[in-house]
Structure 1
Amino acid sequence: MSTRFADKSVLITGGGSGIGRGIALAFAGEGARVAVAGRSLGPLAETVELIERAGGKAVALTGDVTNSEDAARLVREVVEQFGGLDVAVNNAGVFGAAGPVADIDEDQFRWVFEVNVTGTLLAMKHQIGHMRAHGGGAIVNVSSNLGVHKRADGAGAYNASKAAVTALTRSAARDHIGEGVRINTVSPGPVDTPMSTRPGESDTAKSDRMKAEVPVGRAGAVAEIAAAVLYLASDEAGYTVGADLVLDGGVTA
């Protein structure tokens, strides 16, 4: 087992399923102590069980990153459990209901921005607050190629929110690199998770659509996104600051 993150403490929001779970498993597989956070304990506990079954160490923490007190508490609990916070991955996000911009439900729009943008801001705010007082750290925010590099019809709220996440990450990266906190973004395209499956779409239909839409002919694997996150969080990426690593199989090339 690789020990690239041995003795490192990692917090992953949205760690109960999909990309977040894959990232958690990857960090644990390289020696990290992993805290997975989210609103519902059940999925988080499943992630922890998978990690522990493989010989890793993990804890599940419930909280809502759109609430500043919860975001601060998550950091405190990681520090209490593991003695510090070295890496944070802000993956929690929602897509929202699809539809033309003129028909977007205003409450839906606010909800998507609250989770995707405000949640990322508050999570980073408290993560940075700890890291800059304790020798620095690395943060990776999960955005989307739909934010800046590509647009999806009928997904105006999501597109705009992910563009905001990417821009916010660049600002934070410049603001805090002098304090030893290195911040970057990954922007996946279609990934083999339920979020990339259209309502009522069969596996065969999805595979055919991916072959038509993605130059490499398939959706991305969760493990491929996780590998990119681990690189950005590692010492190997020490000269990488404010980058947006697009992982979309050539869609936006």
Structure 2
Amino acid sequence: MKKILLTLLLLTACSTSIAQEKAREVFLTTIEYPPYVDSNQIDNGYVAHIVKRSFAEENIDVTILFRPWARGLKGTINGTFTGVFPTFKTKERLKDLLYSDIIDYNILTYIARSEDQGKIERLNGDIKSLRLGLVNGYANTAAIDNNDNLTKDFALDDVNNINKLCRNRVDLIVIDLYVFKSLYKKGRFKDCPKIKPILQPLAYKPFYLTFNKNDEHAKEYREKFNRGLEKVKKQMDRIKKNYQLD
């Protein structure tokens, strides 16, 4: 009888251990942000691939849901989603979100119609007289986001923002350089006048995966993601090459 009880106890302990090791699933939200995140690419683009691989290293499954940025960010803060990426760091967001280690960097730049380039460059950076196109919910630079003297027009996403520039509804937009090149290369703006990057890059900004601070598992998820990310970063050059980003 004692042997039977001991066997049952051992089986129970093993089952508990296996259950604890079983992969959890996290629900992350993101946006169409090619070439970083792209629902038409393998694994939804290279940043989404890195996020999945990093969690896979820690035996955690990932479901990625595409939402407009502002909605996905709000959904993460209120607990609808486990996390959101790629996220820039701001003081406001630090109140509600836990940030992972840096995943990668992007290059924020101005884009304008070629015909307006000379006029804008002669302003020497003083763009108060221009209509500036931004994406709702994006963090740009403090000089832009905290400046109430600028005339800002907010778009749903980067494609909508570029379309506004094409249709002369704004004079200038802020966008990541590689996002612009990727979208423009796809030929989605055939009827658009020629548009191009102008002035110097605004910023080289790191981006992260962020978690709902009030989720009881948030610190655990961040720790495991960071641990997996450290391993995946050793293969970053190869991953970028596979996605033609080297």
TM-score after normalising by structure 1: 0.30
**TM-score w.r.t. length of structure 2:** 0.30
Structure with greater Cα Rg: 2
Which has the larger strand fraction?
2
